[in-house]
Structure 1
Amino acid sequence: MFGWHAALFPTGRSGMSRITVGAWQAAEGDPMQVVSGPIGRERIHYKAPESQRLDGEMKRFLNWFETAIPDPVLKAGIAHLWFVTIHPFDDGNGRIARAITDLALARAEGTVQRFYSMSAQIRTERKVYYDILESTQKGDQDITPWLLWFIGCLDRAFDGAETILASVMRKARFWESMAGQALNARQRKVINRLLDGFEGKLTNAKWATMTKASPDTALRNINDLIQRGILKRDSAGGRSTNYSLVVEILPKV
C-alpha cells in the first residue's frame, strides 16, 4: 500500500504542497480534515483519527481484509468505507480506496479479465458518493444505506460496461464491413469520431479542423464518402451543410 501511495506522488508533492509519501500521515497534519468552502466559512465534512492511531487502525483493517470471508461484494463495500474513514494518508485516500475496492472485486471473481470499472463508476457519481459517504461517517454506525448505494453503483458499472462493449462491437463490425474500402487516414479518423458519438453536427469546417486539412481537401474527402454511400448530407445550404453516417450501413449489435 505504501508502494501504491508512492506511485501516486513520485515527486513527494500534491500540487504545490509537500506531503508525506509512502507512509501514514505525520503528527503535524493532525487533525486531518476534509473541508470545503471559503476561508472563515469552512464546512468540515469529516475529521480523521489522530496520526498516533493510524498504525493500529490500519493493522486491524489489513488483517480483516486478508482474513474475513463475508459476501465478496459486501466485503468490497465495507473495505472501501473502512479505509476512507481511517484516511491514513496526507492525500490520495480516495484513489487508493477505489483501488482496494477493485482489488476486492477482482479477487472475488477470480479472473484477471474484467470489463467494468467500479472505480470509474464512483468517479462518475462522485457528488452522490460524497454525500452518502459523509452521512454514513456522521451517522449512527448503520452502514446499510452505504452498502445499498455501493451495490447499486456496482450494478450501474455493469450496465455502463455493457454499453461500452456494445459500442466497441458495433465499431469493430463496421470496420469489418469496410474491409474492401480504400479510405485515407483523414477519413478513418473522422469516421471513428462519428462512431464514438460525435457531439454536435459534422460540417466541412469541423472536418478540416479535426484533420488539419484545407477546406477544399475536407470537401473532397466528404464527397468521396458520400459517393460511396458511407456519409449523407443532412441539410444543404452552404456553410450550414452537415453530414452523418448512413444508418443503413451501421451494424446492429
Structure 2
Amino acid sequence: MTAETIEEQIVRILIVEDDKRLARLIERVLREERYTVDIAHDGESGLDLLLQGAYDVAVIDWMLPGRDGPSLCRAARAARLPTALLLLTARGQIEDKVLGFESGADDYLVKPFAFEELLARVRALSRRFNPNLGNDELRHGDIVLDLRSYTARRGERRLDLTPTEWRLLEYLLRNAGQTLTRQQILDYVWSFEHDVQPQMVDVYVSYLRRKLNAPGEADPIVTVRGIGYRLEAERA
C-alpha cells in the first residue's frame, strides 16, 4: 500500500443528505480529494453512523427525514464526539444560523454552494478538530506510525503490518486511553462492511499484539472484558 492510499484513511467524512443526487456529487468531489466517505440519507441512519465516533467531519443537511440536522448536532455534542459538524441548508437568515450554531454545528454553508467552498471548509474543519492531520506521524510512547512513508515502528524495531493491522493500530492510536467497543473497531477498520463478524476484531488484535510486543516489552493494548479494547494511556 502506498503513501497515497494512507491519505484516504486520514480523514473520514460522513455525509447525511436526503437528496441522493447531491449526496453523490459531494461524495465524488470528496473522494477525488482522497477522503474516505460514507453516506446516510435520513436522520436516524445518519445518527447511528455518527455515534460510532469514526468520523473526523460530518456534512449534515438541515432538513432530513426523521431527525433533522440540528437534532443530529445536539446528539453528537451530548455524546461528546470530537467530530467537526458542517450544516448544509437553504436557510440563510441570521436567526437560522444562530440556531444552527447553538445546536452544536461548527460551520454553516448555505445552498446553493460552490464545491470549492465546501472543500475549503472541510479542510479547515479537519485541521482544526484533528491535530494529527497536520502531522506526518501518530505517536504513543515508543509506538510510531509514519503517515507519509506508511511505516510503523516500536522503538527502533520496524513493524511489518498488513493494511488491516495498520488501520487497527491507527484507530487505537487516535483514541489512546479510550475504551473502544468491538463494534466501533469493526466499523472503523472494516468500513461498515456487512459480511465481517465482530469476532474478527479479537483475531486481528491478537495478530497485532504478536507483532507489536517483543519479549520483555509491555503490552499496551488492554482487553476490557465484555466491551472491547483500549490502548493504555501514556504514563506521566
* TM-score normalised to structure 1 length: 0.30
* TM-score normalised to structure 2 length: 0.31
Relative to its length, the structure with more strand (as a share) is 2
Relative to its length, the structure with more helix (as a share) is 1
